[in-house]
Amino acid sequence: MENSIIENVQHRRANSNTKYHCLYGYYFLELSRSQLSTIYKKSKSTQGSWIVEYEREGIITRSKRQSTFRKIYVDKRTWLINLYQKNPILYLDEARQQFIMHFGVSISASSICKILHDAYGMTWKVDIERYVNELSCFQWDLHQLLFLDKVAFANTEIMRNRGYGIIGQKLMFRGEFCRKPRIPCLCFLGQAGIVESFETEGTFTRQKSYPVKFSVWVMDGARIHCDANIIQYLRSLGIIPLFLPAYCPFYNPIEVVFGLIKRYLKRNFKEIDNMPLSSAVQAGLIKFTLYNCTELFSKCGYASGGKFNSSVMYQ
C-alpha cells in the first residue's frame, strides 16, 4: 500500500489542483521551497517552474494546453475575455475574425474555445436577453400571464418509495402493483392556479385577446409550440405567445406546480383502491385549480406591474 502511494506521488505529473495548493503554501502560508518539497515530493526546480509560470501567465494550466497559452499571451487573452463580456453571443469564428483584425495574428476557433473554457471557466450560455427584451416590449401584469406545458403522469412516479426502517436492516414492503398507461396532460397555469387541463391534445377555445386576462401565453421551445401555423392562429385570436429561453425551467412556474401535483398524488394515490389513474390525476389537477401562484411567480422573476427580473431564479 505504501509503495503505491509513493509511486503515485513521486513519479506522476502533478495536476493543476496540486500546483495551486503548492502556490497557496508559498504565497499565503510563507512556506519555504524546502518545506514544500517535503510536503508535495517535488523538487525545488519543479516548484520554481510553477512559480515562474504563474507570475508570467497568471494561471496554471494542464500540460496539453501549454502550446495554446504559450502562443497567446496574457494581453491577447484579456482582450478576448473583454470582447465576450461586451458581446457574449459572438460565435467563435466571429471572435476569431475580430482577433485577427485587431492583432494581425492568426488564431483558431478551437484555441479561443480553450482559452475561454479552460483558462477562465467560461461556458456557452443560453440567450436570456432575448426573452427579457420581449417581455419589455409591451405592458403586462401577472393576471395576464398563462404558462402552458405538457406533463405525463405514471403510477410508477406517484408510488411511495421511501419509509422508516431500523438502521442497518433493509426495508422490505410488499404491496399490489400493476403498471398502468401514462396519462398525458396539457395544462394551463395562471396566477390563481390551474386554469385548464386536457388529457389529450386540446385547444383553448375561449377568446382571450390582449390585454385581457390570460392573453399572454408563455411556453417552452418544443417544436409543436413553435409551429408557424399555431403561432399565426394564436396571434389571430389576439394572444401574445412568448417562448422561454432554452434550458431555463426556473423561469417556468408550471414546472414547480407539476412537481407539487405529483407529490400530492404520491401521498393520496393508492394502488389497492383500484382507482383509475386518470381519475386520480384529475383529482390532483382540481386540487390546484384554486392555488395562489403570486408568490411562486415572484420566485420565478415575475412581479406585478409588468416587471421581470432575470436574476431571480426559482431554487
Residue-wise pLDDT for 16-52, tens only, equals 788 888 888 888 888 888 888 888 878 888 888 888 8
The three cell numbers of residue 94 are 466571429
**Most confident residue range from 85-89, 197-201, 258-262:** 258-262
Question: Tell me, what amino acid is at 295?
Answer: E
7-11, 97-101, 224-228: range with lowest mean pLDDT: 7-11
Question: Would you place residue 126 in the very low, low, confident or very high pLDDT band (cuts 50, 70, 90)?
Answer: low
Residue 120 has pLDDT above 70, yes or no: no
- In CATH, the number for domain 130-308 is 3.30.420.10
Parallel, antiparallel, or unpaired: how do β-strands 145-153 and 183-190 relate?
antiparallel
pLDDT above 70: percentage of residues in the chain: 82
Residue 204 has pLDDT above 50, yes or no: no
**Average pLDDT, stretch 169-180?**
69
63-72, 150-159, 230-239: range with lowest mean pLDDT: 63-72
Query: What are the distances in angstroms from CA 124 to CA 13, 53, 153, 204, 240?
Result: 30, 28, 33, 36, 29
Contact at 8 Å (CB) between 216 and 209? no
Residue-wise pLDDT for 230-273, tens only, equals 888 888 888 889 988 887 888 899 999 999 999 898 888 876 66
Residue-wise pLDDT for 128-139, tens only, equals 777 888 888 888
Return contacts of 128-131, CB within 8 angstroms, 24+ apart.
Answer: 128/245, 128/248, 128/310, 129/89, 130/245, 131/242, 131/243, 131/244, 131/245, 131/248, 131/251, 131/310
Residue 127 has pLDDT above 90, yes or no: no
14-18, 48-52, 149-153, 227-231: range with lowest mean pLDDT: 14-18
Beta bridge partners of 146: 217
User: Rounded mean pLDDT of the chain?
Assistant: 80
